[in-house]
Amino acid sequence: MSGSRFWGATAAAVALAATACGPAAAATVTASPALVPAYATSRPDQVVRCDAATPVRLSVVPGRGERVAVDGLAARSRPFAAQAPLAPGQAFAYTVRTARTTVTHHVRCIPADFPRWTSSRPGVPTSRFFVVTPTADSPTAPGVEVFDTHGAPLWWMAGKALNGSVDGGNLVWGVPSAAGSTVFESHRLDGRLVHRWQPVGGLGDSHEFRRLPNGDALLLVQIPKRHVDLSKYATGANAADATVEDLEIQEITPAGKRVWSWRASDHIAPAETGRWYKSLQVVSGTDADPMYDLYHTNAYAPDGKGLLISMRHTDAIYRIDRATGRIDWKLGGTKTAQSLRIVGDPDAAVDFGGQHDVNVLPDGTVTLYDNGTDRGRPPRALRFRIDTKRRTATLVEKVADAKTVPRSPYTGSAIRLPGGNWAMSFGGTPYIEELTARGGLAFRLTFPTTFSYRVFPVLAGSPVTAERLRAGMDAMAPRRTAHAKLVAR
């Protein structure tokens, strides 16, 4: 078992011991500010919360048979101390050599306003990295971050960011504007902007972004629909002549042309909002009129010639035919002619509770993150086998961490990984986890003062590698100051 804990820089030196390798004694590294995570041969990346005015100081005691070199200094087999100047974003390296192995460790300076976190790794994660966007009020704080599974942030970029993911070899995330619209930006790992994706005819919505095999993107746009009679369902003063926050999914080409769209109000009846009429339904619009958020589309996923759509405020997943726009089936929520019968879930009578993050696996099964909002149960990752002939949805897998996360009021994600593990962001809580199929903890990332809307796992074979992440950070924060120098112990 290994783990790390990081609450900020400390002036005190912290002893960091490596696991012994064979008969040789292990090196000991003492650092000020503290290295995170602790030194171990298996942890190639570490960070310090430093400042440009105070060099990072390392005190190294090589193990028997080891030689350690810091930041280009000659390798030494005797204890020594060195200091290296770093500014936020910059990094230096130290190398531990034995007769058989050479392991290089990279130490990067994180800025003072980097979100606080802790991590633990009691198992073996499938993921290599996690893309997260912890919410932060400061536009200068790192908004999108890439962590490895030892708890080290390898890459970040400052600014408001929502819903980060991988776009080929680049990273993409939503950038909110003061006007309430969101544009998704794809960036190279050196920070350079590659493309800006925005929908047509309304406010861009941050809840989802999907690239298609043809190079287009699916975006979500908010479009007010006026003069809707909701008097059968809502009690507000304007219910008989209401404005609804309609939501449209658009396929947008790289040139910015809309080539396909699907609008919720054309296919979803107001009655399907059901129990949510009793909750906070009115949201601020772009003008003086309040709007009723009947649908709250939060996720969609291509499914062959169709599209799966998750709507929080109908507690349901819909499968639509992209050619006709019709609803092929509905999973959860109020009963309609398209509803599937849920089999194998004891909570089927009240599936779901404001669910998020729908996906389709290669075997055709459907996964989602069920928040369980106001259902009196913990959040769950669910996987269903759909039988359209029998009109059933059979629950084949359910994963939760009820002890750590008893509730998840909003947001969140659940992605089933090759081999059966799940990468989950427990929405509205500090926790991001990779869980085994039996619910065992392989890795946990905790943000004690904030949360990430989703987590996007990066797997082996992705063009987003540790080497490219490091090189990207080096390009954004080149090191022009003097390298390390020896100092008295």
Q: Confirm if 159 and 457 have CB atoms less than 8 A apart.
A: no
Dihedral class, residue 420 (left if φ above 0, else alpha if ψ from -120 to 50, else beta)? left
| Confidence band, pLDDT 50/70/90 cuts, at residue 282 | low
Note whether 275 and 372 are same-domain residues.
yes
pLDDT for the residue numbered 28: 87
What's 55-79 look like in SS3?
A: CEEEEEECCCCCEEEECCCCCECCC
Note whether 291 and 354 are same-domain residues.
yes
C-alpha span between 345 and 422 (Å, rounded)? 19
**Measured on CA atoms in the order 312, 314, 316, 320, is the torsion positive or negative?**
negative
pLDDT for the residue numbered 283: 55
Output the pTM of the full model: 0.92
Segment 224-245 mean pLDDT:
90
Structural tokens at position 177: 């504007």
Q: Confirm if 447 and 125 have CB atoms less than 8 A apart.
A: no
Note whether 277 and 426 are same-domain residues.
yes
Q: Can you list the alpha helix ranges (DSSP code H) found in 182-226? A: none
Segment 105-123 mean pLDDT:
96
Q: What is the pLDDT of residues 20-50, one digit of tens each?
A: 334 345 788 889 999 999 899 899 999 999 8
> Which residue from 324, 219, 326 is spatially nearest to 268, judged by alpha carbons?
326
Note whether 126 and 106 are same-domain residues.
no
C-alpha 137 chain-centroid distance:
18
pLDDT for the residue numbered 281: 53
For residue 475, the SS3 value is: helix
Segment 166-173 mean pLDDT:
96
Q: How many CB atoms lie within 10 A of CB 449?
A: 11
Split into its structural domains, the chain has a count of 2
pLDDT for the residue numbered 237: 79
Mean pLDDT of the chain: 91
pLDDT over 50 at 2, yes or no: no
Range with the poorest average pLDDT among 99-103, 203-207, 286-290: 286-290
pLDDT for the residue numbered 235: 81
pLDDT for the residue numbered 397: 98
Note whether 191 and 75 are same-domain residues.
no
Note whether 232 and 265 are same-domain residues.
yes
Residue type, 336: T
Residue 99: which domain range?
2-111+482-487
Q: Which helix (H) or strand (E) holds 467?
A: helix 466-476
Note whether 283 and 186 are same-domain residues.
yes
Note whether 184 and 277 are same-domain residues.
yes
> Which residue from 108, 13, 12, 20 is spatially nearest to 64, judged by alpha carbons?
20
pLDDT for the residue numbered 157: 96
Q: Which helix (H) or strand (E) holds 204?
A: strand 203-204
pLDDT over 80 at 236, yes or no: no
Which residue, chain included where needed, has tokens 């392991």? 103
Q: Which residues contact 97 (CB under 8 A, 6 or more apart)?
A: 66, 67, 68, 69, 75, 103
Note whether 106 and 215 are same-domain residues.
no
Segment 248-271 mean pLDDT:
98
Please state the φ and ψ torsions of residue 410, each to the nearest 5 degrees: -165, 170
User: Counting beta carbons within 10 angstroms of the beta carbon of residue 478, is it exposed (0 to 12), middle (13 to 18) or buried (19 or more)?
Assistant: exposed
Structural tokens at position 465: 């590698």
pLDDT over 50 at 420, yes or no: yes
Helix/strand/coil percentages in the chain, nearest 5: 5, 45, 50
Range with the poorest average pLDDT among 5-19, 21-35, 190-204, 308-322: 5-19
pLDDT over 70 at 252, yes or no: yes
Note whether 234 and 354 are same-domain residues.
yes
pLDDT for the residue numbered 18: 34
pLDDT over 50 at 114, yes or no: yes
Cis amide prior to 33 (ω within 30 degrees) = yes
Note whether 383 and 398 are same-domain residues.
yes
CA dist list (Å): 161 to 203, 214, 452, 480: 16, 26, 10, 29
Segment 247-252 mean pLDDT:
97
C-alpha span between 25 and 168 (Å, rounded)? 43
- Pairing type for strands 242-252 and 291-292 reads parallel
pLDDT over 70 at 13, yes or no: no
Q: What is the pLDDT of residues 350-365, one digit of tens each?
A: 999 999 999 999 999 9
Q: What is the pLDDT of residues 376-407, one digit of tens each?
A: 999 999 999 999 999 999 999 999 999 999 99
For residue 233, the SS3 value is: coil
Q: What is the pLDDT of residues 71-93, one digit of tens each?
A: 989 999 999 999 999 999 999 99
pLDDT for the residue numbered 137: 67
pLDDT for the residue numbered 229: 96
Note whether 21 and 127 are same-domain residues.
no
Residue type, 26: A
How far the first Cα of the chain sits from its last, in Å, is 32
Segment 413-442 mean pLDDT:
97
C-alpha span between 342 and 234 (Å, rounded)? 29
pLDDT over 80 at 14, yes or no: no
Question: Residue 76 carries which DSSP code?
Answer: B
Q: What is the pLDDT of residues 125-157, one digit of tens each?
A: 999 999 999 987 677 889 999 999 999 999 999
pLDDT for the residue numbered 285: 46
User: Counting beta carbons within 10 angstroms of the beta carbon of residue 104, is it exposed (0 to 12), middle (13 to 18) or buried (19 or more)?
Assistant: exposed
Check which CATH number belongs to the domain holding 368 and give it: 2.120.10.30
pLDDT for the residue numbered 278: 82
Q: How many CB atoms lie within 10 A of CB 225?
A: 18
Q: Confirm if 93 and 106 have CB atoms less than 8 A apart.
A: yes
